[in-house]
Every structure is written in structure tokens, then in C-alpha cells.
């Protein structure tokens, strides 16, 4: 059974930073000083837990920003431990953060996807925009998804 918890950085830091270091720093070669940043303290953090309660994935939702009359929140630092990839963990993290964004009144989610993960994000309703770019030496594309709010939340 998979469980997704939302929390602040103080609560999520130890487990989330360990997962992010494993995935981004050790596997992908991102410099550690680029991986953890001052924005973590401002974010809502999601932790995915397996049936035994072990943290197996993480992502963060940055504070909302206004862009052209829309409230947009950015999803970032999505990381799932290798044995759990392809098993719905990333999708569950993404959908839980989308629910949190809808609950606070956001109109859209945006993210910078590594190009190898574009199909994953397309499957979750995201569309590419703009040109490919490098971030920490890794190819990315910006992506966006409109959020559906219920009438009760409108």
C-alpha cells in the first residue's frame, strides 16, 4: 500500500533530502549545492511511503505565483527511488500535489521536466511549452497543466 503525506520542510527534510541526494546527486551527477536550496523552506513537501512506512519518493510544491491572471504553482524536485520507478509512485506524488494546489485555489501547475520524463508528464495532463534548456547539465522542457476545480472550490 502506498501512502502520500504532505508536510513542511522541517518535517520532511531528513527523508526528502536523502531521496533527492540519491536520485539527483548520486545517480544524475547534480552538484549537491544545487540540489538543496532556500526555497525548500517555503514549499509543501510530499513524501511517498511504502507499506512499511519507508520513504520511497518525494516532490515539492512551491508557493503560488500570479501569471497573466492565473495562479500558477510549480512542482519540483520529484524523485523516486530506483526500485519503485514505474510502479505509480511518481504519479501518486504528482496527483497529491495537484490536489493540494486545487485546495488552495491554484489554476495551473508548471514544472521543468527532464526530457527523458516528458511522456510521464504528458500522461498526467501536462503539455510542453518553450524550447529545451539545460539545468545542472541535464536537458529539460517547461510543462504546464490546467487544474480542474470543483464548483465548491470556485
The pLDDT tens digits of the residues spanning 39-79 come to 999 999 999 999 999 999 999 999 999 888 889 999 999 99
Residue 126 included in any domain: no
Task: Summarize pLDDT for 12-44 with one digit per residue, the tens.
Answer: 999 999 999 999 999 999 888 888 889 999 999
The range of the structural domain enclosing residue 76 comes to 3-111
Q: What is the CATH number of the domain that holds 31?
A: 3.40.630.30
For residue 121 the three cell numbers come to: 508528464
Full-model pTM: 0.90
Kindly state the greatest CA–CA separation across the chain. Answer: 45
Give the per-residue SS3 of the chain: CCEEEEECHHHHHHHHHHHHHHHHHHHCCCCHHHHCCHHHHHCEEEEEECCCCCEEEEEEECCCEEECCEEEEEEEEEEECHHHCCCCHHHHHHHHHHHHHHHCCCCEEEEEEEHHHHHHHHHCCCEEEEEEEEECCEEEEEEEEECCCCHHHC
Q: What angle do CA 64, 58, 8 make, to 5 degrees?
A: 55
Q: Flag whether 146 is in a domain.
A: no
Residue that the C-alpha cell 495562479 belongs to: 71
| 104-154 pLDDT per residue, tens | 999 999 999 999 999 999 999 999 999 999 988 889 999 999 998 654 444
49, part of any domain: yes
Amino acid at each position: 500500500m502506498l501512502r502520500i503525506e504532505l508536510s513542511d520542510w522541517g518535517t520532511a527534510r531528513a527523508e526528502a533530502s536523502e531521496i533527492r541526494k540519491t536520485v539527483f546527486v548520486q545517480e544524475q551527477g547534480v552538484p549537491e549545492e544545487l540540489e538543496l536550496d532556500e526555497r525548500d523552506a517555503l514549499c509543501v513537501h510530499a513524501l511517498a511511503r511504502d507499506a512499511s512506512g519507508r520513504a520511497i519518493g518525494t516532490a515539492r510544491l512551491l508557493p503560488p505565483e500570479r501569471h497573466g491572471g492565473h495562479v500558477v504553482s510549480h512542482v519540483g524536485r520529484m524523485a523516486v527511488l530506483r526500485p519503485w520507478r514505474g510502479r505509480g509512485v511518481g504519479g501518486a506524488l504528482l496527483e497529491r500535489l495537484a490536489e493540494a494546489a486545487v485546495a488552495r485555489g491554484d489554476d495551473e501547475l508548471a514544472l521543468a521536466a527532464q526530457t527523458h520524463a516528458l511522456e510521464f508528464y504528458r500522461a498526467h495532463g501536462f503539455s510542453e511549452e518553450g524550447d529545451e534548456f539545460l539545468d545542472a547539465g541535464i536537458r529539460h522542457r517547461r510543462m504546464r497543466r490546467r487544474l480542474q476545480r470543483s464548483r465548491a472550490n470556485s
